[in-house]
Structure 1
Amino acid sequence: MNDDQDRSALEHADDRILAGRAADGDAAAFAVLVRRYAPMMRAYARRILPGTAELDDVVQEACIAAWEQLDTIEHPDRVKSWLMRITSRKAIDRIRSIRPCSDIETLEISVSASSDPPRRAEANAGLAALAEALNQLPESQRQCWVLREIGEYSYDEIAEELGLSTATVRGQLARARKHIIVRMEEWR
């Protein structure tokens, strides 16, 4: 098999095979995983980080950490979620290192481009109000909310990620939701 055929076979291989080969030191297999999931990792980090300046650094750090930890992956067929957890940890580490507040103003607004200007303006104002409500939350509540509502983490995953008990996560989320509901009342 020539190099082009080998590359093509790798591009079409499933995650389990790629992760197994990468864990054995195959840099080409790891490169396929990076090409496959880096855009998703970047989008996910964008949902967590307060701005876009740090995105590429966080994804690069996540890829380096993944390469170094490949031999620890327990379920190679779940490499996507494993990479997303690493990305999440790196993004949260970055938030902790830069400032104690998350900004959600970088979220994409789910209003179609064909919507009329008043509808887009209303959506922008609503997003700005949500960003302000989130910025008023204590950091722990904000992190729990972002991981749950944007990252779609389970309570147990959030607890593991932030080093909290599941009961604490539930409490933090309840307080965060209550705060957001009160602040967003006019947007109902």
Structure 2
Amino acid sequence: MHENRTPQVEEQVLVRKAQQGDAQIFSLLVSKYQRRLKHFLRRFTHDDQITLDVVQETFLKAYKALPQFRASSQFYTWLCCIGMNTAKSMIAVYGREPQMITEIVDENGEEVDVLEHLSDYQTPEKQLLNRELIDVLGEAIDQLPPNLRQPIILFEINDLSYEEIAQIMGCPIGTVRSRIARARELLSAEVESRFEHD
């Protein structure tokens, strides 16, 4: 009787079976995370074909590295780590700089502006200036250095924890916290400077 299993426990069971060599179970994990991983990596590659190549390579690497996976981290977080490293390598081959873009795709396949989801900008007063504010924030996020742009989008949009972002970025949790705080400061300062005369 496993009716009370949480999704996390069910995932751990699937991963364990895949680690024991069950390729069909691994295919289930691929199906579960492929779309989400594709949208995540698309923000770095900014190119559909490169994204598809990176996703395919990520799952190949993950399958080979399954014996090394430890359940101390989420499977999806582990995939993101592999995916980001693969994206960096592949982008270098294609001769393009990795970058974030500010659109996400929701569960219906519709593009949604990431800026509308930044929690700090959801007060009723600020929503009165919503369209102009979003435009300003879009420019401000594009101007953030990658080491600040990446964690704030991972945190605000992907809803990843500080711990998960630290794993993906390969840096201490304290660094993630400070970079997110710094990104928010810069975004707030840019918004204030653009609207101070209104």
* TM-based fold match above 0.5: yes
CA distance in 2, matches of 1:178, 1:76: 32
Change (3 A) 1:76 1:133: closer
Q: Could you list the runs of 5+ residues in structure 1 that have no partner in the other structure?
A: 1-13, 112-121
2:38 and 2:51 in contact (8 A); partners too? yes
Q: TM-score, normalised by structure 2?
A: 0.64
Residue equivalent to 1:148: 155
Aligned partner of 2:113 in structure 1 is: 109
Q: Does 1:70 align with 2:66?
A: yes
Distance 1:125 1:100, change over 3 A: farther
Q: Amino acid of the residue matched to residue 139 of structure 1?
A: P
- State which of 40, 44, 52 in structure 2 corresponds to 1:49: 44
Q: Percent same amino acid at aligned positions?
A: 30
In structure 2, relative to structure 1, the CA distance for the partners of 1:123 and 1:148 (3 Å cut) is: same
Q: What TM-score do you get using the length of structure 1 for normalisation?
A: 0.67
Amino acid at match of 1:174: A
How far, CA to CA, are the matches of 1:150 and 1:50 in structure 2? 17
* More RCO (CA 8 Å, sep 6+): 1
Q: Judge conservation of contact 2:14–2:29 (CA < 8 Å) in 1.
A: yes
Secondary structure of the residue that 2:183 maps to in structure 1?
Answer: helix
* 1:134 matches 2:141: yes
Alpha-carbon contact 2:103-2:113 (below 8 Å) kept: no
Aligned length: 162
- The verdict on how the C-alpha distance between 1:160 and 1:84 changes in structure 2, with shifts beyond 3 A counting, is closer
Runs (4+) off by over 6 Å: none
SS at structure 2 position matched to 1:64: helix
Where 1:184 maps in the other structure, the secondary structure is helix
The letter for the 2-side match of 1:57 is D
What is the root-mean-square deviation in Å for CA atoms of aligned residues?
Answer: 3.3
